């Protein structure tokens, strides 16, 4: 009798779970759900002319074509759905790989006077051979290529470290030859990565673009904070770092990409679940560390694909309809430039869960996109601060720094507070309050700050003296 009762309970539970999962069977999906499954339109026809595939094969042997290698790697993932990483294990695919930590990649980049150190490296740059020579040449080629993010809908994350090495080599080599060439390359580099930031359809590509833009801004800010700024640098800085546009600030496509991965994961089964039990993806870990994101940032937006004791997926059709509403709201919020993203419980509550669903999945997974959202605002703040460094280096009749920071207009205000950037006379820094929205006096641990040297308009006596000298 006891076994009979247990069997009846088990059968009832199976029936309830199955009916829960298939309760929507026969009903068409909502318009929102259907729209979120539509991929972006592709513009580029020839894969060998797409910078994305060139990037995938960037570390391939010098004798190989990076675009062809990258395209082969990408095609392999299409043939093996659910694969967790691009397969770089084939011969020749990682011959130019580097294992250096970021701080050891051209350390002179972070020096107090990088331009002087780049010049000291002039002879070394001109005789560079082997790995660095190939990476430098490939990066220059990559900058001239159109770029379309083909990672959309794929679980995989490309290797970015070698292209980061190429980026630093390319800009530093320009400064080692001539200041004007270095500034020209710096502007070209920022322009390219901002177009990547704008068109990125995956969060990994978006974060990589922010990493390089921030790295370029670090160098630019150091050049602008020298006691005496090179005239060529100052002449080439107007409009070099405008604030982010709405498209650059948007997480629309990365959000949609992650939604599709979640839906696909329920069908991929064991392959996707295996990835979730492994250690952190090495490429995502490099991105998170270099961008100073939380270590688990990428894992915290990846939907878990749990199954019940009976092997039945716990994510129901109603669950994904609920997530469709949630992702759609987040996409609208980020497109509109809202300072905060909506939360799942605010939009859906818990009323849609039945008894069995509450039992097997009591708390719906809520992806944490806040670190990526704040990171974009930090990038925007750094762009605005660099532009303000340029403004403050120019002579002005306005004597107070706060007034000058206010007069530049709201486009260059702090994106976190909506108010003018702040000035610390003791530290000689201008700064943004950062994501905590609290004024920490320019402390780099909490605020986003850059050194600023202030130039004032010459006084009447100085002007007369200058005029006499000219006569």
Domain ranges within the chain, ordered by starting residue: 47-245, 398-463
**Per-residue model confidence (pLDDT) at position 298:** 95
The two structure tokens encoding residue 126: 């001109």
**Per-residue model confidence (pLDDT) at position 345:** 82
39-48, 199-208, 456-465 — which is least confidently predicted? 456-465
Alpha-carbon distance values, 327 to 150, 188, 258, 321, 421 (Å): 21, 34, 9, 10, 32
pLDDT tens readout for residues 303-361: 887 654 444 455 577 888 899 999 999 999 999 999 899 998 887 764 444 544 554 45
**Per-residue model confidence (pLDDT) at position 18:** 43
- As a whole number, mean pLDDT of residues 356-374 equals 76
**Per-residue model confidence (pLDDT) at position 314:** 53
Among all chains, which residue has been given the structure tokens 């995956």? 202
Q: For the sheet containing 429-432, what is the strand order?
A: 422-424, 429-432, 448-451
Task: Say if residues 47 and 67 touch (Cβ distance below 8 Å).
Answer: yes
The two structure tokens encoding residue 287: 């991105």
* Confidence tier at 100 by pLDDT (50, 70, 90): confident
Residues 6+ apart with CB under 8 A from 421: 384, 385, 388, 405, 412, 413, 414, 430, 431, 432
pLDDT tens readout for residues 381-440: 999 999 999 999 888 776 789 999 999 999 999 999 999 999 999 999 999 999 999 999
CA distance linking residue 25 with residue 19, whole number of Å: 9
**Per-residue model confidence (pLDDT) at position 309:** 42
Cα angle, residue 436 at apex, residues 431 and 441 outer, rounded to 5°: 35
Task: Say if residues 162 and 208 touch (Cβ distance below 8 Å).
Answer: no
CA distance linking residue 100 with residue 323, whole number of Å: 40
pLDDT at 373 over 70: yes
Nearest to 225 by CA among 421, 456, 455: 455
- As a whole number, mean pLDDT of residues 229-235 equals 91
Q: For 337, left (φ over 0), alpha (ψ -120 to 50), or beta?
A: left
Cα angle, residue 47 at apex, residues 135 and 131 outer, rounded to 5°: 10
119-133, 137-151, 233-247, 451-465 — which is least confidently predicted? 451-465
**Per-residue model confidence (pLDDT) at position 81:** 56
Cα-Cα end-to-end distance for the chain: 115
Task: Say if residues 215 and 165 touch (Cβ distance below 8 Å).
Answer: no
* Confidence tier at 455 by pLDDT (50, 70, 90): confident
Nearest to 305 by CA among 200, 156, 155: 155
- Bridge partners, 424 (sequence order): 429
The two structure tokens encoding residue 142: 């990559």
pLDDT at 97 over 80: yes
Query: What is the 3-class SS of the chain, one letter each residue?
Result: CHHHHHHHHHHHHHHHHHHHHCCCCCCCCCHHHHHHCCCCCCCCCCHHHCHHHHHHCCCCCCCCCHHHHHHHHHHHHHHCCCCCCCCCCCCCCCCCCCCCCHHHCCHHHHCCCHHHHHHHCHHHHHCCCHHHHHHHHHHHHHHCCCCCCCCCCCCCCCCCHHHHHHHHHHHHHHHHHCHHHHHHHHHHHHHHHHHHHHHCCCHHHHHHHHHHHHHHHHHHHHHHCCCCCCHHHHHCCCCCCCCCCHHHHCCHHHHHHHHHHHHHHHHHCHHHHHHHHCCCCHHHHHHHHHCCCCCCCCHHHCCCCCECCCCCECCCHHHHHHHHHHHHHHHHHHHCCCCCCCCHHHHHCCCCCCHHHHHHCCCCCCCCCHHHHHHHHHHHHHHHHHHHHHHHHCCCCCCCHHHHHHHCCHHHCCCCCCCCCEEECCCCEEEECCCCCCCCCCCCCCCEEEECCCCCCCCHHHHHHHHHHHC
The two structure tokens encoding residue 147: 């770029």
CA distance linking residue 129 with residue 195, whole number of Å: 30
Q: How many CB atoms lie within 10 A of CB 44?
A: 16
* Confidence tier at 17 by pLDDT (50, 70, 90): very low
């Amino acid at each position: 009798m006891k076994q009979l009762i247990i069997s009846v309970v088990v059968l009832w539970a199976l029936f309830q779970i199955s009916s829960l999962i298939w309760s929507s069977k026969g009903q068409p999906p909502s318009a929102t759900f259907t729209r979120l499954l539509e991929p972006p339109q592709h513009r580029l026809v020839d894969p060998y002319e797409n910078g994305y595939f060139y990037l995938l094969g960037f570390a391939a042997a010098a004798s190989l074509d990076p675009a062809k290698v990258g395209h082969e790697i990408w095609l392999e993932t299409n043939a093996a759905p659910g694969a967790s990483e691009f397969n770089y294990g084939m011969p020749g695919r990682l011959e130019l790989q580097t294992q250096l930590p970021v701080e050891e990649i051209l350390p002179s980049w972070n020096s107090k006077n990088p331009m002087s150190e780049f010049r000291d490296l002039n002879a070394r740059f001109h005789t560079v051979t082997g790995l660095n020579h190939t990476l430098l040449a490939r990066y220059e080629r990559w900058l001239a290529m159109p770029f379309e993010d083909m990672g959309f809908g794929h679980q995989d994350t490309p290797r970015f470290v070698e292209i980061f090495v190429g980026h630093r080599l390319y800009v530093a080599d320009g400064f080692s030859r001539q200041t004007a060439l270095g500034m020209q390359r710096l502007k070209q580099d920022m322009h390219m990565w901002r177009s990547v930031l704008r068109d990125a359809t995956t969060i990994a590509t978006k974060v990589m673009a922010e990493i390089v833009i921030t790295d370029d801004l670090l160098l630019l800010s150091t050049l602008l904070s020298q006691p005496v700024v090179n005239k060529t640098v100052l002449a080439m800085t107007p409009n070099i770092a405008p604030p982010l546009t709405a498209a650059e600030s948007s997480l629309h496509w990365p959000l949609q990409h992650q939604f599709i991965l979640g839906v696909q994961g329920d069908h991929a089964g064991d392959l996707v679940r295996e990835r979730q039990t492994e250690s952190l993806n090495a490429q995502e870990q490099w991105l998170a560390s270099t961008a100073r994101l939380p270590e688990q940032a990428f894992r915290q937006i990846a939907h878990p694909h749990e199954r019940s004791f009976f092997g039945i997926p716990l994510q129901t059709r109603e669950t994904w309809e609920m997530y469709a509403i949630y992702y759609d709201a987040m996409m609208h919020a980020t497109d509109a430039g809202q300072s905060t993203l909506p939360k799942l419980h605010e939009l859906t509550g818990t009323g849609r869960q039945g008894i069995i669903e509450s039992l097997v999945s009591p708390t719906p997974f809520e992806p944490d996109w806040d670190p990526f959202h704040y990171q974009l605002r930090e990038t925007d703040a750094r762009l605005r601060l660099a532009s303000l460094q340029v403004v403050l280096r120019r002579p002005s009749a306005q004597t107070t720094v706060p007034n000058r920071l206010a007069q530049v207009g709201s486009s260059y205000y702090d994106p976190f507070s909506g108010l003018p950037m702040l000035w610390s006379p003791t530290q000689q820094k201008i700064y943004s309050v950062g994501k905590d929205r609290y004024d920490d006096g320019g402390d780099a641990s909490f605020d986003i700050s850059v050194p600023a040297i202030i130039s004032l308009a010459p006084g009447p006596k100085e002007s007369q003296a200058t005029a006499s000298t000219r006569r």
